[in-house]
Amino acid sequence: MNENETINETIAGIVDEFSLFDGWMERYEYIIELGRALPGLPAPAKTEGSRVKGCQSQVWFQAREENGRVYFEADSDALIVRGLVALLLRVYSGRTPAEILATPPDFFEEIELGSHLTGNRANGLHAMVKHIQGYARSFQEKAPAG
């Protein structure tokens, strides 16, 4: 993530990237490539406590707060899902809790991905976003009043 880029600029960049592809096979291949490039999590971090409930695939998220920003690391056992995770991390990691909570994942509709996901994957995507928002809420509640 580019720290100087706003969340909306990041989303616009993703939408632009996906507009370059002619068909859905190319988009899926790109998502798989994003999944392959995702650093993932070491095995000890893949615990039941870090697993996202509601996903058909195994998905694990970890979050930490630094200087008022939330940083995520995540992994999945399915390449397509890893690619979706990579997109979510690109948008939400390194943002303030307020930015995360104020930005719904509408960009998945903008890139026409929502309509091309199976029901189970769409439910899993929703579960991952809820997980990210849950972390953001908990960090926001822990923040000192300013």
| Catalytically active residues, by annotation | 55
DSSP at 60: E
- CB of 74 within 8 A of CB of 32? no
Furthest-apart CA atoms within the chain: distance in Å: 49
CB atoms within 10 A of CB 59: 26
